[in-house]
């Protein structure tokens, strides 16, 4: 994990050096962060980095594996391996995004220095709040989503702290409580972390359990870690900027669930994460020792 040293937004006399990019409310952040979703405001809608010509330039500069795109008229439950392509190039998809019924994500856009600066500027405003709840902000990444009118992002969940900032257009987010084991089981989490897959299925009996957010340009939504969701685009082109980061507690959580996944594959019945702190510590420290030993022996893991 790489800890973050973020730019300061205050002068020596305590006044703001630059206008705020985000609108964050202290009490809501403290009670909701990584527990419940909540809306924020932002001031990025007119930012030059989200103009189509600049996004096309960015896409051309990214490695091929950093761009994922496909047809956007998908069902809520979609097999990752069977997701249909749209038959277009990256450039054609961006130029024709209004009519080509497609979904696209530009991954790790922080590799571009200007987008990295914007990501770090945004997280510099988040960090004073997040540190009070879960300290140790690290591993910051950013993603840009471009979607055609009506496109669907199928049901899935993500492993990091995430704020999705709506830049252009609108989308309806159907978000589910990741703490509800009738929605996300222990086995689901073990598979997610241990098999490294986003593949999930939204069952008919759980569809009515979603929290629904109509996200408009100028608004952002916080997604707690591993809260499943699916997204329906509005009737216009959508551009969204996802700012994400991790904290040391998430690495521990990931490791324990990965170890539980291996234990279950061997026929065991692992103790769920969080039930027994000493078992969690044993699993986490055992993995760290195993990883260190392999590193010293020059083995890749």
Task: Give the tens place of pLDDT for each residue, 33-86.
Answer: 999 999 999 999 999 999 999 999 999 999 999 999 999 999 999 988 889 999
Element (H, E) at 250: helix 248-265
C-beta separation of 39 from 218 below 8 A: no
Give the SS3 label for residue 133. Answer: helix
Residue whose pair of structure tokens reads 């527990």 in the numeric block:
35
**What pLDDT, on the 0 to 100 scale, is given for residue 5?**
72
Q: Please, what's the b/e burial string for 251-286 (b: 16 or more CB within 10 A of its CB; e: otherwise)?
A: bbbbbbbbbbbebbeeeeebebbeeeeebbeebbee
Say whether pTM exceeds 0.75: yes
**What pLDDT, on the 0 to 100 scale, is given for residue 298?**
67
200 burial (CB, 10 Å; 0-12 / 13-18 / 19+) is buried
**What pLDDT, on the 0 to 100 scale, is given for residue 197?**
78
- Which segments of the chain have a pLDDT < 70? 7-17, 294-296, 298-301
C-beta separation of 280 from 256 below 8 A: yes
- Bridge partners of 145, per DSSP, are 105, 240
C-beta separation of 156 from 229 below 8 A: yes
- Bridge partners of 22, per DSSP, are 42
The C-alpha angle with vertex 80 and arms to 249 and 35, in degrees rounded to 5, equals 30
In terms of phi and psi (left: phi > 0; alpha: psi -120 to 50; beta: otherwise), the region of 150 is left
């Amino acid at each position: 994990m790489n800890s973050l040293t973020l730019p300061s937004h205050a002068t020596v006399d305590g006044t703001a050096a630059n206008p705020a990019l985000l609108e964050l409310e202290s009490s809501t952040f403290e009670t909701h962060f990584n527990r419940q979703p909540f809306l924020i405001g932002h001031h990025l809608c007119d930012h030059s980095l989200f103009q189509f010509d600049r996004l096309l330039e960015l896409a051309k500069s990214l490695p091929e594996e950093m761009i994922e795109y496909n047809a956007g008229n998908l069902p809520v439950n979609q097999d990752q391996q069977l997701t249909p392509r749209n038959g277009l190039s990256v450039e054609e998809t961006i130029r024709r995004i209004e009519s080509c019924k497609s979904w696209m994500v530009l991954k790790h856009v922080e590799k571009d220095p200007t987008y990295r600066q914007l990501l770090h500027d945004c997280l510099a405003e988040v960090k004073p709040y997040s540190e009070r709840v879960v300290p140790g902000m690290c591993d910051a990444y950013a993603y840009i989503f471009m979607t055609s009118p009506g496109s669907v992002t199928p049901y899935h969940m993500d492993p990091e702290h995430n704020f999705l900032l709506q830049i252009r257009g609108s989308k309806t987010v159907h978000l589910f409580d990741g703490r509800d084991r009738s929605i996300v089981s222990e086995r689901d989490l073990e598979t997610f972390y241990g098999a490294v897959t986003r593949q999930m299925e939204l069952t008919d009996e759980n569809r009515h359990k979603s929290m629904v957010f109509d996200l408009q340009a100028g608004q952002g939504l916080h997604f707690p870690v591993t809260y499943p969701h699916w997204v329906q685009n509005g009737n216009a082109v959508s551009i969204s900027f996802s700012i994400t980061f991790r904290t040391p507690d998430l690495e521990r959580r990931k490791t324990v669930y990965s170890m539980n996944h291996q234990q279950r594959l061997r026929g065991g019945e692992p103790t769920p994460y969080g039930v027994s702190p000493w078992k969690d510590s044993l699993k986490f420290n055992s993995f760290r020792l195993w990883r260190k030993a392999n590193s010293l022996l020059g083995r890749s893991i």
